[in-house]
């Protein structure tokens, strides 16, 4: 930013998008503070693994000066992919070539730690649950937190995910249930405790679908595997049966009935998990999602364009963060920077929203990925 006084920039959400934005701003001498509702960086498990793509997520990490650190932490072998039929037969098997770096995997927790550790001390203020953004559209804005704290900011960046509180300052849109729900299962010390599942999944991911349901398994670091049991069900399907996610045996019995015709090898992904299931109904924002330009508030990532989980969410969030930070660093005013950012981000995200509209249904499809036609089919 070339003008004084420097704007007070508040980033809401310490996920990959918010932290990437803060990191790139700091590299360009622009101060920003990140506010997050969690009590600290270790308050909860950050989730499974994700791939960062060469044409978006890695672009952001390069701008953040963290790309080589990412490569040291990432698992290129995690690009291995297998698709099976419900009988357990392999339909195709993609093995990454030596040195392939198009979309290596990294655990979400490792990515977050990489970004957190790159920031100046005190950048992230933990234990700040945002309740509302108030104040005039031309600023300053007042951020009201659950503990009664009120903070003024000249720019509020909503990086606070699917159920963004910042979004309410610029848009009335709310996420809608897609009709598809994930039930997540965890497997620990898999090479020793679950060798058959480790062999089935390999070093990357393995999926099987029959058009109505799917099992998707993915290797994480530390000898862990996460499995996503994907179904077309009502969002409240568990509570509608008088159950909770802690009722592991009852849920397992229902799932085994749903997957009764699948092979015993695949059914182990339902029966052998360590601990309870985690319910993850899939939501998405209306298509397209846009808002009238506001000179003091903008959005990035899921807050701006929540889509089904088809491999683009974190990548787009980090690319958004990169472009927004660079715009703020290189324009004379916040308003000019937001115009430049949104003129690129909104058309890109709206196009991707259209491509992935109802894309959660694709997770149940028996179609092979496009690149399976390029010689990767093994059966």
Q: Which residues touch 72 (CB under 8 Å, ≥6 apart)?
A: none
In a domain, 259, yes or no: yes
Q: Which pTM value belongs to this model?
A: 0.92
Tokens of 96: 């990454």
Mean pLDDT is lowest, of 2-6, 222-226, 232-236, 296-300, for 2-6
**Longest CA pairwise span in the chain (Å):** 67
Whether 312 and 320 have beta carbons less than 8 Å apart is answered as no
Q: What is the CATH number of the domain that holds 25?
A: 3.50.50.60
Domain span at residue 278 reads 177-283
Q: What is the pLDDT of residue 3?
A: 47
Residue 378: pLDDT above 70? no
| 196 and 108 part of one domain | no
The answer to whether residues 19 and 157 belong to one domain is: yes
Q: Which residue has 């590299």 as its token pair?
A: 27
pLDDT in tens, 109-120: 999 999 999 999
Backbone angles phi, psi at 145, to 5 degrees: -105, 160
How would residue 101 be classed by pLDDT, with cut points 50, 70 and 90? confident
Asked if the structure places residue 323 within a domain, the reply is: yes
> Does 280 score more than 70 pLDDT?
yes
| Token pair of 23 as six digits | 């990191």
Question: How many domains, in total, are found in the chain?
Answer: 2
The reported pLDDT for the residue numbered 369 is 53
The stretch 22-27 carries a mean pLDDT of 98
pLDDT tens digit sequence for 309-347: 877 899 999 999 999 999 999 999 999 999 999 999 999
Q: Do 139 and 255 have their domain in common?
A: no
CB atoms inside a 10 Å sphere around CB 362: 14
């Amino acid at each position: 930013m070339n003008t004084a006084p420097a704007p007070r920039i508040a980033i809401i959400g310490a996920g990959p998008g918010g932290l990437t934005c803060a990191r790139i701003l700091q590299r360009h001498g622009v101060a920003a503070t990140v506010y997050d509702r969690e009590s600290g960086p270790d308050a909860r498990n950050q989730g499974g693994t994700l791939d960062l793509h060469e044409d978006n997520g890695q672009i952001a990490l390069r701008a953040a000066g963290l790309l080589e650190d990412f490569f040291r932490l990432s698992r290129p072998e995690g690009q291995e992919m297998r698709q099976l039929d419900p009988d357990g037969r392999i339909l195709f098997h993609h093995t990454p070539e030596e040195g392939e770096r198009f979309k290596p995997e990294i655990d979400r927790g490792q990515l977050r730690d990489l970004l957190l550790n790159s920031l100046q001390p005190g950048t992230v203020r933990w234990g700040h649950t945002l309740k509302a953004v108030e104040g005039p559209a031309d600023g300053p804005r007042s951020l009201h937190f659950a503990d009664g704290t009120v903070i003024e900011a000249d720019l509020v960046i909503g990086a606070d995910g699917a159920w963004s509180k910042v979004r309410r300052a610029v848009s009335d849109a709310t996420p809608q249930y897609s009709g598809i729900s994930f039930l997540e299962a965890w497997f620990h010390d898999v090479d020793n405790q679950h060798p058959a599942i480790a062999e089935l999944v390999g070093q990357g991911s393995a999926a099987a679908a029959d058009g109505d349901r799917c099992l998707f398994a993915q290797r994480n670091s530390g000898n862990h595997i996460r499995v996503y049991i994907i179904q077309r069900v009502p969002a409240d399907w568990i509570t509608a049966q008088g159950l909770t996610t802690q009722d592991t045996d009852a849920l397992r019995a229902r799932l085994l009935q749903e997957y009764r015709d699948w092979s015993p090898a695949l059914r182990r992904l339902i029966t052998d998990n360590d601990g309870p299931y985690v319910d993850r109904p899939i939501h998405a924002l209306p298509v397209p999602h846009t808002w009238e330009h506001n000179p003091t508030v903008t959005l990035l990532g899921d807050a701006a364009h929540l889509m089904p989980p088809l491999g683009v969410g974190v990548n787009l969030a980090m690319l958004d963060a990169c472009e927004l930070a660079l715009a703020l660093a290189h324009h004379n005013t916040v308003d000019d920077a937001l115009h430049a950012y949104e003129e690129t981000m909104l058309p890109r995200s709206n196009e991707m929203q259209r491509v992935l509209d109802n894309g959660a249904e694709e997770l149940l499809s028996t179609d092979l990925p496009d690149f399976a036609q390029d010689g990767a089919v093994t059966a």
